[in-house]
Amino acid sequence: MSRSRLSMGPTRPECNFRRNAVRASYGHAMEPSKGVQAVMGLAGLVVLSLIIGTFLSGGSTTNSTTSTPPANTSTNTQAPTAPSPAAQVGLWYQQYGSIFTTLGNDLNNVSAASGGSDINAAQSACQTLAADIQTAQSYPAIPDAQTAADWSTVLSDEGSAATDCVNGIQNNDPSLVTQGATEMVQGNVALDKAIMDVQSLTGTG
């Protein structure tokens, strides 16, 4: 079904049906992510520090006229310690953490578009979410098991939600639209958890 037919107005009952289904599913099922608001406090993440060893040496003198090389020369160089889990997560966030805010904005845009009468705007918002999920999936894993697991749930749920949203609108399938809304809410909860994981590790919560 072409976009022009989807936006012909109230004289087409199926268009009203689809608008109402999208509005009912996304317009009221979602609330802005509390974690997305909190993510702005993550700017002060832990910075990686390295411990540098010292070079120690000693010497001795046998008499006033003749000196000999030091009897024992020792070198005690301490290798840099491995970054702590908190530091590793902090470094990941410094490089890729803006995706948290991006996805949060996408979710809010889907909710706002779905609450209006423009079915094409809702579909476009879901397509943007799908594209940003693909970008997030290309990033390295978060270097902490629990945080990585929660983040994986975010990408899985939101990816499915975006796909179901787009397909549900295109195919005039209210049940698929509703399923996408449910998945989106679940992904939103997981996003909050992932953000709280980062805050807990870095002490910025």
Residue 140 and residue 91 in contact, taking contact as beta carbons nearer than 8 Å: no
The rounded distance, in Å, linking the Cα atoms of 147 and 158 is 16
Q: How do the pLDDT tens digits run along the chain, 205 residues long?
A: 333 333 333 334 444 444 555 555 665 444 444 443 333 333 232 222 222 232 233 344 444 455 565 655 556 667 678 788 889 999 999 999 999 999 999 999 999 998 877 889 999 999 999 999 999 999 999 999 999 999 999 999 999 999 999 999 999 999 999 999 999 999 999 999 999 999 998 887 6
SS3 string, 141-202, reads: CCCCHHHHHHHHHHHHHHHHHHHHHHHHHHCCCHHHHHHHHHHHHHHHHHHHHHHHHHHHHH
The rounded distance, in Å, linking the Cα atoms of 106 and 61 is 75
Task: Identify the CATH class of 87-205.
Answer: mainly alpha
Task: For tokens 């549900």, name the residue.
Answer: 168
